[in-house]
Amino acid sequence: MSRLSNSRGFLLTLKTGREDGGLIECTAQAVGGAGGAYEEETTTRRPNPYDPPYLNQPSSEIDSAEHGGPPGPLTTTCPCGMANKKISKIVGGKETEINEFPFAVMLVLRGSYSPFCGGSIISRQHVLTAAHCVIKYIQHGITVIAGDHDYTDDRETDARLVVDVRQVIMHSEYPSRSEYDIALLVLDSPLQYNKYIAPVCLPHRQLNLEGQYLKALGWGRTSPHGRGSSFLKKVNVRALSLSVCQDYAGVERTERHQICTYSKMKGLGKGDSGGPVIWLNKDTNRYTLVGLPSYVFFYDGNEHILPDVSTDVSSFLPWIHQNMRSNRFRLYI
């Protein structure tokens, strides 16, 4: 899922209003660990006048005081977006702690335990994923595995829960329009929440995350031509502007249905599709699902040059609400 390179940098992001922007007055805010501190090694790279501008971004290795555990300054009654981890430095592309992110699930073919994609729990009976993950497997039968970490080790955790998918709801515009790469999975039986199986938060309105640090989770490939990871991995990336992404990844910027992410020598890989791309809401200290990995570009060698593209979850909130409403399950936002 990642190829790692460190760099030193300090980024000031100009934010207006709340997390999704606004008007009125602007404040400069350091994006990083506690107090905005960075602790990074340095590296050098020969400048190239034809390099895309995002290649010069600082590394996304950040202090994980972005915890997802203790409450933030803004209290919330929504039991979503929590993580099970210690406060320690997070380095992108590392193995997660066992059951660290209780909302991350694997999608497997019925009767199998090897994941072909990921997904996120958003209610007791609903998982959100990418449509391209499931479109060719609907007739075969799809199963969700929650509460797992390393699917090759049966002794690692006793929280594993296997639930069949009863119904697959894909966006009606997919596949004719690739930017509508989103699907809602309805589970055959409700999940029983506990410390290791719990929902992620959803945005409550469309977000503008340009320049923000995001975290991607998955069991996908760790190199362009390698095999998928047997255990859940995490990597820190940064959201790019759609105008930059349009030039280098071909996204449609007039309709905000996608988000682009990039980080030096690391990013998403095959098999990470549909899994969680999350953003830490600093007000609540809870993780919010903002992206569903849609497509990545493969490279020879260890270069990672082009951005990764994910479906923008916040653009599809009405669609998500509408398709969950008939089941009458509470949606955590």
User: Cα(191)–Cα(80) distance, rounded to whole angstroms?
Assistant: 14
Over the stretch 281-309, which tens digit does the pLDDT of each residue have?
988 889 999 999 998 776 555 566 788 89
pLDDT tens digits for range 193-232: 999 999 999 998 899 899 899 999 988 766 555 566 778 9
CB count in 10 Å sphere of residue 140: 11
Dump pLDDT digits (tens) for 56-109. 665 555 544 445 566 666 666 678 999 987 543 333 456 678 889 999 999 999
Tell me whether residue 273 is one of the annotated catalytic residues: yes
Find the mean pLDDT for residues 171-179.
94
DSSP of 7-60: -----EEEEEEETTEEEEEEEEEE-SSGGG------------TTS-GGGGSPP-
Number of Cβ within 10 Å of residue 121's Cβ equals: 28
Please, what are the domains in the chain? 12-46+53-98+200-315 (2.40.10.10), 104-199+316-325 (2.40.10.10)
Identify the burial level of 189 via C-beta atoms within 10 angstroms of its C-beta, where 0-12 means exposed, 13-18 middle and 19 or more buried.
exposed
Q: What is the pLDDT of residues 105-164, one digit of tens each?
A: 999 999 988 899 999 999 999 999 999 999 999 989 999 999 988 877 887 788 899 999
For residue 16, the tally of other CB atoms under 10 A from its CB is 13
- Is 132 annotated as catalytic? yes
The length of the chain is 333
- Bigger pLDDT: 51 vs 43: 51
- Give CA–CA dist 293/258, Å, rounded: 10
pTM: 0.76
Looking at per-residue pLDDT, the higher value among 40 and 161 belongs to 161
Residue 181 annotated as catalytic: yes
Of 60, 120, 178, 273, the catalytic one is: 273
Nearest to 125 by CA among 214, 186, 174: 186
In this model, does residue 20 exceed pLDDT 60? Answer: no
Identify the active-site residue in 59, 171, 178, 181. 181
Q: Residues 289, 313: contact at Cβ < 8 Å?
A: yes
- DSSP conformational letter for 196: T
Catalytic-labelled residue, pool 126, 132, 171, 257? 132
List of residues 6+ apart from 20 with CB closer than 8 A: 203, 205, 206, 207, 208, 314
Closest CA to 186 of 2, 329, 10, 80: 329
pLDDT at 284: 86
